[in-house]
Amino acid sequence: MRRPLLSRFRFKLFNFSKFSPPQLIALTFAVAILLGALLLHAPLAHQPGHSLSWVQALFMSTSALCVTGLAVVDVGSTFNVFGQLVVLALVQIGGLGIITFGTLFAFLLGRRINFSERVRLAQQVSAFEVGGVVRLIRQIFIFTFSAELIGALLLALRFVPQEGWERGLYLAVFHAVSAYNNAGFSLYADNLIGFARDPLVNLVIGFLVILGGMGFIVQINLLSHWRNPRRDRILVHSKIVLTVMGALLLGGLLLFLVLEWNNPATLGRLPFGDKLLVSFFQSVTPRTAGFNTVDYALVRSPTLFITIILMFIGANPGSTGGGIKTSTFFVMMMAALSLVRGRGDLVAFGRRVARETVVRAMTVGLLSMGLVNIGVLLMLIANHDDTLSFERLFFETVSAFGTVGLSMNATPLMNANQQLILLVLMYLGRIGPLTFAVAFGNRTRSELVKYPPERDILIG
């Protein structure tokens, strides 16, 4: 008896066993970006009378797959439904991870996942250990699609009455997926500025962004603790990132509210309740989401500076967001504070943080600052005739590296060289500078000789 066609089909999730997990992540993202650019460049993806250059198509594909949201063309008016669905598919795949999606197909085909593939999966979702990673991936998909479905249904309450059933449901699904994956793409030409005073849209989009940026490990940990608090404790990692998330959200809200209170172009003319709502949304979106309900070209310079800091820090590890991550920021700040206080070890929530973790955090922070600085310098060099101000170039550069997508309306005005620089920064920001460095750097060798320490090096 012949086996069914589906069971005879040998699905290969990974055909690159010689590649390390960092290398595989970097290469799969690069290949997917190229495939996405081919689809977005094709005429069947465009509205009548619209076309994209290869640089524009590559930029949009990178921005979508790296869940950034920066755009050189308006998504709603440039792409037809097919092109918009390509953008949405890239956002969903990029948010959850290409390797993670490969695992989903393996599940559907009934294929077992071997150990080397589990190692790559653990690297993709920032899991602590390889054991149980396949079950974790299954939970991630269920949680993600459930959150997006609930978000879409809630958004439909606003979009359907305004746009009709077909268009309204389509807009609700598009914005729910874009929000949960921290992409920030909108089908409205002004993003969400038209909904600045709408509590439903602001709160649903805002909480989807927070949920997606929370991190898969934290999501599953909190759900497990809620179901069985005695068996499943809240991890120290979860406590750290939730503490930093809460502090940044509250701090961002208050600072935006105070700094923009009298700005007539943003909060100045709004009643107090709407000021709080707009400030809340602008505190959420710099955490790598990219949606905006105010025009950032009209925001004051101190507020832009705070927004740049929030964009650089970003979301949590293993999430749909970017940035250096909240845990990295926490470890860097607490390590510096421990050194100032004269403490030997970094202690958080009754647990000692390993020195390797501190070194890793410092490395990520240093590499990220270096990439941003190099990016800004290259953007200035490519800024012919000083067409764009330093402030706008700096803002767009950090937004690209943090995979945020907030813009001072400068990205479409940039030349091809500047757009290519942002493209590279989006790619490096999504896969992580440390992942890229490890993937293509020299392999570490075991040291046969251990040198004596040198204590006569002055620091500070």
Alpha helices in 51-132 (DSSP H): 54-65, 75-78, 81-96, 98-108, 115-124
What's the pLDDT at 100? 57
- DSSP string for residues in 422-434: HHHHHHHHHH-HH
Share of the chain above pLDDT 70, in %: 82
Question: Are the beta carbons of 324 and 315 closer than 8 angstroms?
Answer: no
How far apart are alpha carbons 459 and 327 in whole angstroms? 25
pLDDT tier at 282 (50, 70, 90 boundaries)? very high
Question: Are the beta carbons of 184 and 290 closer than 8 angstroms?
Answer: yes
* pLDDT-wise least confident of 65-69, 84-88, 117-121, 432-436: 117-121
What mean pLDDT is predicted for residues 141-161? 94
What's the pLDDT at 430? 85
What predicted TM-score, i.e. pTM, was given to this entire model? Answer: 0.86
How far apart are alpha carbons 228 and 90 in whole angstroms? 36
* pLDDT-wise least confident of 85-94, 150-159, 209-218, 443-452: 443-452
What mean pLDDT is predicted for residues 68-91? 94
What mean pLDDT is predicted for residues 122-143? 61
The one-letter amino acid at 87: V
Cβ atoms within 10 A of the Cβ of 86, count?
A: 22
Closest CA to 45 of 34, 32, 57: 57
pLDDT value at 393 more than 50: yes
pLDDT value at 131 more than 50: no
pLDDT tier at 126 (50, 70, 90 boundaries)? very low
pLDDT tier at 34 (50, 70, 90 boundaries)? very high
pLDDT tens for each residue of 427-444: 998 887 766 665 566 555
What mean pLDDT is predicted for residues 385-401? 92
Report the mean per-residue pLDDT for the chain.
Answer: 84
pLDDT tens for each residue of 290-325: 899 999 999 999 999 999 999 999 988 877 778 899
- The top-scoring range by mean pLDDT among 253-257, 357-361, 444-448 is 253-257
What mean pLDDT is predicted for residues 87-104? 74
At how many degrees (to 10) do helices 21-41 and 98-108 cross? 90
What's the pLDDT at 172? 97
What's the pLDDT at 114? 46
